[in-house]
């Protein structure tokens, strides 16, 4: 049969499975019993790769079960799969058809499998996500307070006070988790030596970019979503723009870079040089984000703290 590629469409209750190139399809339940049945059926196929979409967390137990079974898994962006399906003329949508498109996507593009984060990292990721949700709720309630009638102002203010208290508790839990892990303590010491990287930024980077220090600068920039992509066609030269990546990490990096531009002579000089060359402020800021990320990646790779004179070349 040759190399087998398996696409799995994940829903809350069911997993629809499609195999390429054989065309075999079946379904199992999205629970421990279903995972066991799936692994039993996949083992004889010796699949080159199993491909699943990121579905807001429903895929995590499945990916863990396949990883433990020694089966290579790639978690891919659903938007990329949708675009691939449209490009191949697949406009109809059912769970089985989605699984088949995912399998064809994997067979054609062969995305790179990445190791599943360990349980400690997954737990840290969950708390970092919860922190982001609390911040969003505080922002939403604060916006409501600005136009609220007196009859509800007290309730909103009370809720904001409670949310801020919970946010402080979550921050303490996050930093406590970092301090309890010898490996994370080392990462924290390295990361916090950089300008703009504080407690919150450190927790976010440790939890949400475990690849930091393991990839080269170009790949880590693309992974986070701060690498600009060309938009050229014929004689047209479009404006390059960042695309995709990890939005939550990018938001954290954006705020950290604001401080780095003020506090780091190296980052500030780079920013000023771009402005002097006629780059818009936002473009210069994103370029500084990329420069800071590449520096952090090199620091983690080398196990070395921040130094202002370390050479890192980043194109704007």
**What is residue 295's predicted lDDT score, i.e. its pLDDT?**
95
Q: Which pLDDT value is given to residue 244?
A: 62
Query: How far apart, in Å, are the Cα atoms of 24 and each of 5, 71, 276?
Result: 11, 18, 60
Residue 76, pLDDT > 80, answer: yes
216 and 278: one domain? Answer: yes
The pLDDT of residue 315 is: 46
Asked, for residue 93, whether it belongs to a domain, the answer is yes
Please check the confidence at residue 181 and state whether its pLDDT lies above 90. Answer: no
Average pLDDT over residues 119-148: 92
Shared domain for 10 and 55, answered yes or no, is yes
**What pLDDT, on the 0 to 100 scale, is given for residue 242?**
55
Nearest Cα to Cα of residue 85 among 184, 9, 168, 192:
9
Could you tell me if 13 and 102 lie in one domain? yes
Beta bridge mates, 6? 19, 50
Angle at 269 between CA 295 and CA 248, to 5 degrees: 45
Report residue 259 CA to chain centroid gap: 23
- Residue 311 counted as domain residue: no
Segment of 46-60, 65-79, 107-121, 192-206 carrying the highest mean pLDDT: 192-206
- Does 170 share its domain with 90? no
Question: Region 82-107: what's the mean pLDDT?
Answer: 89
Q: Do 311 and 269 meet the contact criterion of CB atoms below 8 Å apart?
A: no
Q: What is the pLDDT of residue 316?
A: 44
Residue 236 has pLDDT above 60, yes or no: no
Range of the domain at 218: 209-302
Residue 213, CA distances (Å) to 203, 210, 299 in order: 16, 8, 7
Provide the CATH number for the domain around residue 71.
3.30.420.40
The per-residue pLDDT for 9 is 94
96 in the same domain as 18: yes
Domain check: are 36 and 98 in the same one?
yes
Structural domain includes residue 189? no
Residue 279 included in any domain: yes
- Answer whether 189's CB lies under 8 Å from 181's CB: no
Rounded to an integer, the average pLDDT of 60-64 is 86
- Res. 2: pLDDT tops 80: no
Token couple for 215? 């990839």
Closest of 61, 85, 63, 62 to residue 74, by C-alpha: 63
Confidence check: pLDDT of 299 > 90: yes
pLDDT band at 100 (very low <50, low <70, confident <90, very high): very high
Q: Does residue 314 lie in a domain region?
A: no
pLDDT tens-digit series, residues 187-228: 999 999 999 999 989 999 998 898 899 889 898 998 898 877
Number of domains in the chain: 3
Q: Choose one of 109, 143, 168: the last residue of a domain.
A: 109
């Amino acid at each position: 049969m040759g190399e087998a590629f398996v696409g799995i469409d994940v829903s809350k209750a069911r997993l629809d499975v499609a195999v390429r190139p054989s065309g075999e399809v079946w379904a199992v339940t999205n629970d421990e019993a279903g995972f066991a049945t799936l692994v039993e059926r996949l083992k004889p196929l010796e699949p080159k790769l199993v491909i699943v979409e990121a579905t807001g967390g429903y895929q995590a137990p499945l990916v863990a079960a396949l990883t433990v079974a020694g089966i290579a898994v790639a978690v891919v962006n659903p938007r990329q799969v949708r675009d691939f399906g449209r490009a191949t003329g697949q406009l109809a949508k059912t769970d089985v058809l989605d699984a088949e498109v995912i399998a064809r996507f994997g067979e054609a593009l062969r995305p790179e499998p990445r190791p599943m984060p360990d349980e400690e990292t997954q737990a840290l990721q969950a708390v970092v996500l919860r922190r982001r949700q609390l911040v969003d709720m505080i922002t939403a309630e604060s916006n409501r307070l600005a136009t609220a009638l007196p009859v509800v102002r007290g309730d909103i203010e009370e809720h904001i006070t409670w949310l801020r208290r919970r946010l402080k508790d979550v921050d303490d839990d996050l930093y406590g988790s970092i301090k309890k892990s010898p490996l994370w303590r080392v990462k924290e010491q390295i990361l916090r030596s950089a300008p703009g990287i504080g407690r919150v930024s450190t927790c976010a980077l440790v939890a949400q970019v475990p690849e930091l220090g393991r990839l080269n600068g170009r790949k880590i920039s693309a992974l986070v979503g701060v690498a600009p992509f060309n938009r050229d066609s014929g004689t047209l030269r479009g404006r390059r723009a960042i695309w995709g990546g990890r939005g939550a990490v990018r938001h954290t990096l954006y705020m950290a870079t604001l401080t780095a531009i003020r506090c780091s002579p190296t980052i500030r000089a780079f920013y000023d040089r771009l402005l002097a060359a006629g780059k818009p402020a936002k473009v210069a800021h994103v370029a500084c984000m990329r420069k800071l990320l590449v520096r952090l990646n090199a620091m983690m790779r080398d196990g070395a703290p921040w130094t202002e004179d370390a050479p890192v070349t980043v194109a704007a």
